[in-house]
Structure formats: C-alpha cells, structure tokens
Structure 1
C-alpha cells in the first residue's frame, strides 16, 4: 500500500476518522443503547462494586473456591452460571477505564449474574466488548451475559470520553479507543497470575476476541489496524466498519449490520467486508436499523446472538461443529441473511 497523504499536517486516515466520529455524533441517540425506545437501560448486577486490580501478594483466601464445580474443557455443552465484577482500570492518569466483566461462574446456571461469584473451573477465552457513543457496558448486558453463559469472559470498558457520563464528551476520541482496549486486555490478563484473585488460572490469553457496536465496532476493527494487537484472534463488528484498514496476520471477522441503518450506513460495513481477504462473514439484519436488533425479542436478535456465539466458539474454542452451524444460525426468511468466505 502507498504512503497515506496528509491534510493540513494531519494524516489523511486521521482526518477520515475524525469525520467518521462527527457522522456518528449526528446519530448519537440511535447508536448509544440497544434497548427499546424510551426504556431505561438496566444496570448490571453488581455494577456499583469496584474492584481495584490487586497486587501479586494478595491473600489466596480472598477469592471463593470453585473446586466444587466441574472443570470446563473445550466449548461448554450447556449454559453456565454467570458472575459479574467491576475492575478499576486506566491507561494513564486521564484515561479511566472502569470495566465490567461478565464471566462463567461456579454454581447452577440461570438467573441474574451474581456479583463477585466464584469463577467456574477451567480456562476461558476472553472477549473485549466495546460500547457505542454515549453508551455504557450495561446497555449490552443482554448480549454479554449470554456470551458469558456460553463460556467466555467478557470484559466491557466504559471509554473515558465517549461513554454516556463522559464530561467532556468527545466523539472523535474513538480513534484512541483501540489502545484503551489493548490496555484493558493487558490489565485483565495480569489477574490470571495474581495469587488469590478469582480469575487466577481462569483466563486464556491465547484465545482473545474483540467485539463491539457502532463506535465500539470501529474500535474493535481498530485493534486489527495500524497499531495491531497481535493477541486478537477474532473480531465481531456490529453496525461498524474498518478503522484504518486491517493489518497483520489473517484474523476471522464477523460483520453484523442492519440494511436500513441510518447512523452507520450498511455500505460502510459492506465496504469493510469487501476490503479484506481475511476469513470473513457477514450477517445482514433485513430491515434492521442501527441498534434495535440488539434487544431480546426484537427482529434479528436471535440469529445475531446465535451467529455471534457460534463464530466465537469456532474461532476461540476450535469448535468445528459451531462453524458448520453458522449458515443456519444466520439465515432466517425475512429476518436475516448470512454469507461468508471462511
């Protein structure tokens, strides 16, 4: 590829990214929350409990034991219980990244996520989930909790200048979020070797994916772009597109987009899909807008959730049967269309 041009002393790709952020801001209400219009987005169970990343010398008795639960080996064959905790993370003094983590927990499946529950026995893949402009991790818990029940540790940061409560709110800061996402992964993985932490020995740093909606979809794509995070093995871009192109080793990418999205145009996702030669799939929500299909019961939610889950089971658990189900997962007459080059 050629050397990018510059506009007014600023790299051309950066100018495009700033224009992208502005265009997202124009539809900020639509892209912020995948809940029903007028509904109050739920807060995750335990969301007010902050956990500071502990030192390596933490007491081994600090975390509840999960010894009574069976060890999960390979992709879980049934739904797991879900726990939730909040980590106080940051990337530098001015970039706080409070991160909600939903994870497979010990105990009986079902019910609401349990605050600070003991983690299920086993080592689980990680999915970094990124919110849209003026969003919060809680807005996506109907997705993230289902992924956790399917055997993934889902870490969702609230980005410092684009979350709902940001002051000041700076939509163009999305260009800095891929580095934030990498910082969250690094901090989370430290817990895997922190004595006494409930995640000690439970996280698999060799099996990491990124996913996100709207600006979060661009953030996820950005982690596979110029400052590539080589730890990422798969990506799910929901109602988003590329953020600087795709670089580095071939990485499977699933795009999910409504074909009537008025915030991030359907063509934006299609262009990103067509621009990469990597293994890729595209789920079109027929008649879908920007975010409503992320709400349970909405048209497109079920095929989106099944396709995303099996895509992650295939890419992170090497589950060949899950790959074989993808076309069926994403094909619903009048609801969704699936295509792939995997």
Structure 2
C-alpha cells in the first residue's frame, strides 16, 4: 500500500535483498536459500495464442457480496484466506451470505508487502459484485513485514498461491460447502499488487501454475521471479503509475514487454504506487477497476465486447493510457 514505511522498506530493500538471493537480472529466476516445493514449470515453450473460451453471460447488475474465511496450510506456512463472492440480493456485504445462483470465475489476489487483503477491500468487493469469486491469502511474513524476512518471503509466495487455489477450487465439489457448485474451476486468474504483483508474475514464470488463464499485475515487476514465461498463453494486464516511487514504472514496463502472450498495460501518468488500486477517492481508482473488470470479463467470461473495449486502447478517463496488444 501507499504507506511511508512501505516506501522505505521496498525502495530501500527489495532490490538489495532479492539480488542477494541470486537475482542478478530480472530475467534470471530467483535462487531461494531455503528451497520450497514449487509447481513444476511447463517444459514447453510459451505459446502465443490464448485459448478461446465459450462465452458466459456477463452479469447484468451488481450483486450483493458474501464473505467467508478459511485457512490453508502449506507445510509450516499458515495462510488465512478471505473470500468475497457474489451473493443473493443487490447490495451490501455480509458474512456467509447465500451465494448468487450460478457459477463464477475465480481470481486469487496477492497483497503487497506490509499490507493485508483488507487494505484492498474496496477494489476486491467491486470485482466480486461484478461476478467473480475473489480469494485473498494473507502471507506469513510479508504481511506487516518491515525487514528482509518479509522481502525474502515473497519468493515463496507463488507456491502459497497455488496451494490456496487448490483448496479454494476443491470447495466446488465439497458436499454441503457454501460455495459447492458455484465455482468455474476452469476459469481462473491471478492478480496482485506490488510484491503481490511480483508473486503474480512468478505464477507464470518460475512457479508456473497451468490452471491460470490470465494475470493482473498492479504496480509489480519481475524482480526475483524472472521473465521466463512458460506454458499455454495466458493474457496479462499490467497497471502502473508513472510516478511510482516504490516499484519503478520502468521495471513494470520491462516485465510487460517481456510477456510473449496477448497483453495490455494501463499507464497512469500521475499515478503513484497504491492510491489508484485501493482508494476510491483517487482519480484513477474507477479507471483501474473498470479496466481490470473488462480484462477479466474477456479472459474469464469470454466476453467479446470487453475485448473490443480493451483493444481500442487509448485514453482512459484522462487519467490513464492503455497500450493493448491483444
């Protein structure tokens, strides 16, 4: 998030700590000094064409939102997960609400260093209202961390996300579970902000999870996880403020340029590191949220109208410019 201590920690330490781990360039995978099991990257060269989906009906109106919590464990790592999902009704957010009828695509979201899922509530609830199930883990060390331990922990987070995704998708077939029968288990994307953006890139490079159809990187880069994109084409959306003083715009742009698949980048000329992704009063918040929703409607709902809006590129409300290579 856009906090003073986060600026100090990330700007002053992220490069130094990850470089010490063996990341001499953004294109080289990280060497974790305490190796953790990772999903096996695809051996095949990355393909360039995204697999077309049969279109799903896009929700016609915003839903109410239900919330629930669960805990996933991966070895000694405990990962509390907050879920937001479309619920019956037309407004409000409530715990364990009855899900709206039908099945919904799943987006797993990774928070930034020193942050937590609740810091992104306004953004994630907006996505849930629009027809997505959002699963947001709290990572063991990078949540609230202000030192090297949290920074190094980012390198373990792609495997954490894959473990969370396995548990969440299993809910669809679990008799009696609140979300049983409500998840599109083959329509899944990953998203993340800052260090969570690095985590998201890692899910398509060193820790490739082949269940993911798309990625959304908010103010992130490829530092520590590299740009060896692998496996089936998974379109990527990057969002970055050009005045970001935590993760440089140039580093985000470099990661975007390395993506071999359909991609788009929303650049915010006056954008900083976090306000446009978390603060509803920020001029860029609505533009960022809607652009991400269009991207998710295209990649997970197969909505051709959303793809057309993205393909048009150009200015977004005079606060952003979209470069689309779809």
After TM superposition, the score normalised by the length of structure 1 is 0.77
User: 1:110, CA displacement in angstroms?
Assistant: 1.5
2:124 matched residue in structure 1: 144
Runs of 4+ in 1 over 6 A off after TM superposition: 13-19, 165-168
Q: Which whole-Å CA distance do the structure 2 matches of 1:13 and 1:198 have between them?
A: 45
Q: Which whole-Å CA distance do the structure 2 matches of 1:341 and 1:251 have between them?
A: 13
* Contact kept in structure 1, 2:143 and 2:150, CA below 8 Å: no
1:292 matched residue in structure 2: 275
* Contact kept in structure 2, 1:252 and 1:278, CA below 8 Å: yes
1:59 matched residue in structure 2: none
2:295 matched residue in structure 1: 311
Q: Over aligned residues, Cα RMSD in angstroms?
A: 2.5
* Contact kept in structure 2, 1:157 and 1:184, CA below 8 Å: yes
Q: 1:89/1:285 Cα in 2 relative to 1: closer, same or farther (>3 Å)?
A: same
Q: 1:290/1:11 Cα in 2 relative to 1: closer, same or farther (>3 Å)?
A: closer
Q: Which whole-Å CA distance do the structure 2 matches of 1:221 and 1:262 have between them?
A: 20
- Mapping of 1:271-290 within 5 angstroms? 271-290=254-273
After TM superposition, the score normalised by the length of structure 2 is 0.80
The secondary structure found in structure 1 opposite 2:287 is helix
The secondary structure found in structure 2 opposite 1:97 is strand
1:95 matched residue in structure 2: 77
1:125 matched residue in structure 2: 105
How many correspondences in the alignment? 280
User: 1:331, CA displacement in angstroms?
Assistant: 2.0
Aligned pair partner of 1:250 in 233, 244, 247: 233
The secondary structure found in structure 2 opposite 1:85 is strand
User: 1:277, CA displacement in angstroms?
Assistant: 2.1
Structure 2 unaligned runs (5+)?
Answer: 1-18, 32-55
User: 1:334, CA displacement in angstroms?
Assistant: 3.9
- Mapping of 1:157-306 within 5 angstroms? 157-164=137-144, 169-242=149-222, 243-245=225-227, 246-294=229-277, 295-306=279-290
1:36 matched residue in structure 2: none
Q: Which whole-Å CA distance do the structure 2 matches of 1:297 and 1:328 have between them?
A: 26
Structure 1 unaligned runs (5+)?
Answer: 1-6, 20-72
1:76 matched residue in structure 2: 59
The secondary structure found in structure 2 opposite 1:228 is coil
Per-residue Cα deviation, 1:245-272 (whole angstroms, up to 9, x for no partner): 1211111000000001000000011101
Q: 1:154/1:266 Cα in 2 relative to 1: closer, same or farther (>3 Å)?
A: same
Per-residue Cα deviation, 1:321-342 (whole angstroms, up to 9, x for no partner): 1111226687236411111100
